[in-house]
Amino acid sequence: MMDSKRAMEGGETAVVFSLKNEVGCLVRALSLFQEKGVNLRHIESRTSRRFVNEVEIFADCSCSKKEFNELLEHLKDHVNIITFNSPAHVRSAEADGEHILWFPKKISELDKCSQRVMTFGSEPDADHPCFKDEVYCKRRKYFAEIAMNYKFGQPIPRIEYTAEEIRTWGVVFRELTKLYPTHACREYLKNLPLLRKHCGYREDNIPQLEDVSLFLKERSGFTVRPVAGYLSPRDFLSGLAFRVFFSTQYVRHSIDPLYTPEPDTCHELLGHVPLLADPKFAQFSQEIGLASLGATDEDVQKLANCYVFTVEFGLCRQDGQLRAYGAGLLSSVEELKHALSDQACVKQFDPKTTCALEFQITNFQEAYFISESFEDATEKMREFAKTIKRPFSVYYNPYTQSIDLLKDNHSIENVVHDLRSDLTIICDALGKMNTYI
């Protein structure tokens, strides 16, 4: 789950931790920073929405990576660390002496990305229904703990959803499925019945992420993993590079089932999953992720904007009719109706201009962008990716689920060898076709 509008603007390194709301607690916590000789650039606090009778502290530090890691180890013995944010421009030395922005090169390193949940920054809207509901806040804490403790390779914990959560899901499911036959793209309509059959997509049942992940793996090579909340665009897009989708498990508040100020499992399961099962859409999503690896903050933001106006709010034309493929549309009753109405402004998708636009969080989008096909959108993104300045290219190795940097003859030769093997198989198949047809 990505939020490019809430990207944490801070100093070099930041940590978020919670404390008991009692006299002297903050003074004792800050003494831990003093003991390690770590200076603070900025500090703020707020009442915790995860833990009852606790406060959350956001501390923006000025220190080296080594000092920060030592501080974290020290803090773990005294406070509850919620999340920490690595420096925005951490650079890792490569063997040839070049310095590049760090990014995960193994799929297991997404464990680091999933921990950097964006907790602080601009405050959420004051009308968020969970603010005054302690039972709901406690439930959200439960989901957050599951996600923060999850590691690559583990089965995703199964959730026993409450009757209230199932009712909320049921309302969303029932109202949206009425619209899909006339509003959703054909790829969506093809995969939704399969999800009903294999993953338990029903009005009276919330699908389990583990079942969904196994289904996607067989269909397109994508998997999902739980996440506690918003990730930065860089961390979220990094997951797509490995065909991994960060997904929430919590359900929106029941007070208004057809509205949520943030993505929830209804949005993920009904909006994103059916399209992620399509191989061509999966390829499009992965290429956005690959383009983001090692890119500058400015270029990552451009890619995030393109992602939002396609994967979240994209339209396509099929059989002469506008259809939705964006998850933000396919999980919102009112905006889905609006986007395909005469009142919506529809433009051709062009990454060069779309990348500079801002999207709306609480209102309908000012414009929606149409692609003729997923192949068309992918080709446009490939051309746009060429404008991103990096001293290397990247190649995803599906056998090792890792990223190879293509920056010298040796690394390129390895990829060419793999391609030759694939081409040999294709040539052999063509030869047999000519022989036996």
Q: Are strands 54-62 and 39-47 parallel, antiparallel or unpaired?
A: antiparallel
Encoded amino acid at 178, one letter: K
In the numeric block, which tokens belong to residue 284? 């499009």
Structure tokens at 47: 């009442």
Cβ pair 406, 393 in contact under 8 A: yes
Compute the distance between CA of residue 237 and CA of residue 1 in angstroms, rounded to an integer: 10
| DSSP secondary structure letter of residue 153 | T
Report how far Cα 104 is from the mean position of its chain's Cα atoms: 14
Residue 176, φ and ψ in degrees, nearest 5: -70, -40
Label residue 432 exposed, middle or buried (CB < 10 Å: 0-12, 13-18, 19+): exposed
Name 224's bridge partners.
245
What count of Cα atoms within 13 Å lies in the side-chain half-sphere of residue 434? 6
Q: 246: part of which helix (H) or strand (E)? A: strand 244-247
Give the Cα separation of 348 and 138 in Å (integer).
44
Integer Cα distance of 276 and 200 in angstroms: 17
Structure tokens at 12: 């070099």
386-412 core/surface letters (b: 16 or more CB in 10 A; e: else): eebebeebbebeeeebbbbbbbeeeee
Residues forming a β-bridge with 91:
101
* Residue 323: strand pairing partners: 316
Residue reference for tokens 């490019």? 4
Which residues participate in catalysis according to the annotation?
267, 272, 312, 331
Q: Is 379 exposed, middle or buried (0-12, 13-18, 19+ CB in 10 A)?
A: middle
